[in-house]
Structure 1
Amino acid sequence: MQGQLTPSFGDYELIDTGDFEKLERFGQYVTRRPEPQAIWRRSLPEGEWRRMADAAFLRDVRSDERGEWRLRPGMPPRWTVAYEYKDMVLRMRLGLTSFKHVGIFPEQAANWNFIYDNCRALASGGTFPADISGAAAAGSLLPAHDVAVPSGAGSGRDGHSATGPGRCVTPRVLNLFAYTGGASLAACAAGADTTHVDSVKQVVTWARENMELSGLDGIRWIVEDALKFVQREVRRGNRYHGIILDPPAYGRGANGEKWILEDNICEMLECCARLLEPQGAFLVLNLYSMGLSSTLARTAVRQAFGAPRTEQYGELCFTDRAGKQLPLGTYYRFTR
């Protein structure tokens, strides 16, 4: 099924967009940041933007990515927001970085719900929900055609065979390019044995802080190049019930390894296909690079994994107060 996902996030609001900027509320504070997708005109006047913004990001004229924040008196450099879904409560620390980010991508809340629901279903021994709640904003997932199970199915790292309906398991979830860990927290909150991989030590430390703020524990933290990690996991014969990928367009590994999305994504997906359990499993792929569509993501994933039981793909977006929809990346996710 193709569609848009717009999550409900009480501590976040997209107030206005336009002229390549966005005005957002995170908890009680309002930020103003560049947004290359906001090609239209603002709905609110400049004076209103200035009045509302507690922090405004000023791009460095010598850099397309870096800059600095101009803060209103009383605006803290760090603060906390909460995200609630069913009986899951995640608390995350925000901060103003030199790359304009604040520590979370609120549009990913739709995927946090999906991860939580599927991990809970696995842990209870049931099948995946017919109406997967993480997709509620865009409707239920629809069955895919020509269901196929990749070859090479075998036992997991704990010696158990592939998951099937009616079997209670502790789901094993792998979060790659995991940043500050919203998806890792969702999996952990649902009872999953969660592995969090990112090549930047500082953001892994940040993710650990978010785990502690959320009253969770037990996440396995890995500071390493994501592709190198999955290659080693393949050699070890390990298996996971859920894999989450949120790759950047370009990045550097912990030891200087170069990541270029278009060059490396197929190898990454092929490795992940060998790690994912053949039944009772799910995958989430996010793409933020402008110009990369959800259809592209679907084609690449299906080539590596085969046809799934259910699938959904489309855009992640939020709508501002004037009704303008801002696309914030594409996603593809499946269950099998």
Structure 2
Amino acid sequence: MKKCATHWKDYECIDAGNGEKLERWKNIILRRPDPQAVWLADTSSKEWKNTHAIYHRSKQGGGSWDFKKDLPEYWTIDYKELTFKVSPTGFKHTGLFPEQAVNWDWMQEAIRNSHSEVRVLNLFAYTGGATMACSSAGASEVVHVDASKGMVQWAKENMALSHLENNTIRFIVDDVLKFVQREKRRGHTYHGILMDPPSYGRGPNGEMWKLEEQITELVSACLEILDDEPLFFLVNSYTTGFSSTVLENILSTTVLKRFPNGKVEAGEVGLPITRENLTLPCGIYGRWIKND
């Protein structure tokens, strides 16, 4: 199943191909590498040339931005009632993954349709797009966990930009598995759990993370802190070669087995490409949702 983020106004994937994508972030045009965009595109056109910045990969790893026009250090974009800080980083990212809006909408609908308290846990929470979406939708508490102090600080800025300072959002810098295990010992539970684990990573104290070796362990640990009346469970992944069927199978053998009153679905998330009326694939998702 394919889910496409079609409700953006401040973001647009103008074109993609030849291993790159051309994007509009409000009124700023960026050109970035994209390993999925392997089809042909006319990158010699005026649109591709008239950019504010281009990210060039280095053969030694990493890369750098080539700024063609003056850019502010950061600017903001809106998605519905939410506002986010955007800034080109040294690793080609901008601090936001716009395709995740399809998951924000899905979680917001679930929270708004719930007639009881909803506590949400966001793991590998990055700059907090999902955190702000869940909080804005009425979650009674959102716990935001990430190993990077810098990303957590960025998320706090997004909280302020979205005027959610008076909502209950807890920001935690920690290794996610250790945090989940401590929550189990503390007896804390959540109605909604989401995670966006990297392929590889390190916790704040050097803890190693490898997706294919630890994802099932983490989902199983999260199952121990899922409320007896859960609302949703979501796993995102950008790991190349990792099938959405794997996520479907993991959730079916863990969450669905414990809570058969729900359903599991999985598939791709993507962005509409304006110029060619195509879809840019942007990772996979697996979801468990309580039946209506």
TM above 0.5 = yes
**How far off is 1:93 after superposition?**
0.4
**How far off is 1:277 after superposition?**
1.6
Residue 143 (structure 2) aligned to one of 186, 190, 195: 195
Alpha-carbon contact 1:251-1:259 (below 8 Å) kept: yes
Alpha-carbon contact 1:199-1:254 (below 8 Å) kept: yes
Per the alignment, residue 65 of structure 2 pairs with 69
Alpha-carbon contact 1:16-1:43 (below 8 Å) kept: no
Q: For residues 49-88 of structure 1, what are the structure 2 equivalents within 5 Å?
A: 49-51=48-50, 53-63=51-61, 66-84=62-80
Residues 23-72 of structure 1 show CA distances to partners (whole Å, capped at 9, x for unaligned) of 01111101000100011111452553122x11111112211xx2211112
Q: How many residues in Structure 1 have an aligned counterpart in Structure 2?
A: 283
Aligned partner of residue 228 in structure 2, secondary structure: coil
Q: For residues 91-170 of structure 1, what are the structure 2 equivalents within 5 Å?
A: 91-122=83-114, 125=115, 168-169=116-117
| Shift in CA distance, 68/44, structure 1 to aligned 2, threshold 3 Å | closer
Alpha-carbon contact 2:4-2:272 (below 8 Å) kept: no
Residue 244 (structure 1) aligned to one of 175, 194, 198: 194
- Root mean square deviation, CA, Å: 1.4
**How far off is 1:191 after superposition?**
2.1
Alpha-carbon contact 1:308-1:334 (below 8 Å) kept: no
**How far off is 1:278 after superposition?**
2.9
Q: Which runs of 5+ in 2 are unaligned?
A: none
Amino acid at match of 2:175: D
Q: Distance in 2 between matches of 1:28 and 1:47?
A: 16
Q: For residues 1-336 of structure 1, what are the structure 2 equivalents within 5 Å?
A: 2-51=1-50, 53-63=51-61, 66-84=62-80, 89-122=81-114, 125=115, 168-169=116-117, 171-192=118-139, 193-217=141-165, 218-305=168-255, 306=257, 307=260, 309-320=262-273, 321-336=275-290
Amino acid at match of 2:289: T
Amino acid at match of 1:304: T
Q: Distance in 2 between matches of 1:112 and 1:80?
A: 18
Q: Distance in 2 between matches of 1:111 and 1:312?
A: 13
Q: Which runs of 5+ in 1 are unaligned?
A: 126-167
Alpha-carbon contact 2:190-2:230 (below 8 Å) kept: no
Alpha-carbon contact 2:6-2:272 (below 8 Å) kept: no
Q: Distance in 2 between matches of 1:81 and 1:319?
A: 18
Q: Distance in 2 between matches of 1:240 and 1:43?
A: 48
Aligned partner of residue 224 in structure 2, secondary structure: helix
